Amino acid sequence: MIIEVKLFAVAKQLANAEAVSVELPDKATVQDIRDALSKQHAELSGITSRAMIAVDAEYVKDNSPVRQDSEIALIPPVSGG
Protein backbone atom coordinates (compact mmCIF):
# COMPACT_ATOMS: atom_id res chain seq x y z
CA MET A 1 0.00 0.00 0.00
CA ILE A 2 1.07 3.59 -0.53
CA ILE A 3 0.44 6.17 2.17
CA GLU A 4 1.14 9.86 2.55
CA VAL A 5 3.19 11.10 5.51
CA LYS A 6 2.73 14.72 6.52
CA LEU A 7 5.96 16.47 7.50
CA PHE A 8 6.60 19.20 10.04
CA ALA A 9 9.47 21.48 11.12
CA VAL A 10 12.92 20.30 10.01
CA ALA A 11 11.48 17.23 8.23
CA LYS A 12 9.54 19.55 5.95
CA GLN A 13 12.70 21.53 5.26
CA LEU A 14 14.84 18.46 4.59
CA ALA A 15 12.35 16.99 2.14
CA ASN A 16 11.46 20.38 0.68
CA ALA A 17 7.85 19.20 0.80
CA GLU A 18 4.83 19.26 3.09
CA ALA A 19 4.30 15.51 2.65
CA VAL A 20 5.92 12.46 1.07
CA SER A 21 4.52 9.13 -0.05
CA VAL A 22 5.92 5.77 1.03
CA GLU A 23 5.22 2.25 -0.10
CA LEU A 24 4.45 -0.13 2.76
CA PRO A 25 3.63 -3.82 3.03
CA ASP A 26 0.09 -4.90 3.83
CA LYS A 27 -0.48 -5.03 7.60
CA ALA A 28 2.19 -2.35 8.08
CA THR A 29 3.24 -0.91 11.43
CA VAL A 30 4.68 2.43 12.47
CA GLN A 31 8.14 0.82 12.40
CA ASP A 32 7.53 0.00 8.74
CA ILE A 33 6.88 3.71 8.16
CA ARG A 34 10.19 4.62 9.82
CA ASP A 35 12.05 2.05 7.71
CA ALA A 36 10.34 3.14 4.49
CA LEU A 37 11.01 6.82 5.12
CA SER A 38 14.72 6.13 5.68
CA LYS A 39 15.02 3.96 2.56
CA GLN A 40 12.71 5.79 0.17
CA HIS A 41 13.53 9.35 1.31
CA ALA A 42 17.20 9.35 2.27
CA GLU A 43 17.09 13.04 3.20
CA LEU A 44 14.93 12.07 6.21
CA SER A 45 17.04 9.12 7.39
CA GLY A 46 18.85 11.17 10.03
CA ILE A 47 15.68 12.05 11.93
CA THR A 48 13.25 9.17 11.46
CA SER A 49 14.50 7.17 14.44
CA ARG A 50 14.10 10.13 16.83
CA ALA A 51 10.90 11.62 15.45
CA MET A 52 7.45 10.98 16.86
CA ILE A 53 4.88 9.49 14.54
CA ALA A 54 1.21 10.25 14.93
CA VAL A 55 -1.51 8.08 13.43
CA ASP A 56 -4.90 9.76 13.17
CA ALA A 57 -3.74 12.63 15.43
CA GLU A 58 -2.44 10.37 18.23
CA TYR A 59 1.16 9.51 19.08
CA VAL A 60 1.62 5.76 18.79
CA LYS A 61 4.19 3.07 19.49
CA ASP A 62 6.29 1.53 16.74
CA ASN A 63 4.34 -1.74 16.82
CA SER A 64 1.02 0.04 16.19
CA PRO A 65 -0.77 -0.98 12.99
CA VAL A 66 -1.32 1.43 10.11
CA ARG A 67 -4.28 1.39 7.72
CA GLN A 68 -4.16 2.79 4.21
CA ASP A 69 -6.69 5.49 5.14
CA SER A 70 -4.79 6.54 8.30
CA GLU A 71 -3.52 10.11 8.58
CA ILE A 72 0.21 9.88 9.31
CA ALA A 73 2.41 12.70 10.59
CA LEU A 74 6.18 12.75 11.21
CA ILE A 75 7.02 15.17 14.01
CA PRO A 76 10.76 15.70 14.57
CA PRO A 77 12.20 16.50 17.99
CA VAL A 78 12.49 20.19 18.77
CA SER A 79 14.85 22.08 21.00
CA GLY A 80 15.18 25.62 22.07
CA GLY A 81 16.55 27.82 24.69
Q: Is residue 42 part of a domain?
A: yes
Give how many domains the chain has, as a whole number.
1
User: What confidence score (pLDDT) does residue 59 get?
Assistant: 97
pTM for the model:
0.92
CATH code of residue 64: 3.10.20.30
How confident is the model at residue 78, as a pLDDT?
A: 79
Pick left, alpha or beta for residue 27 (phi over 0 → left; psi -120 to 50 → alpha; otherwise beta). Answer: left
What share of the chain has pLDDT > 70, as a percent?
A: 96
Is 80 part of a structural domain of the chain? no
Under-70 pLDDT residues of the chain: 79-81
CB atoms within 10 A of CB 80: 3
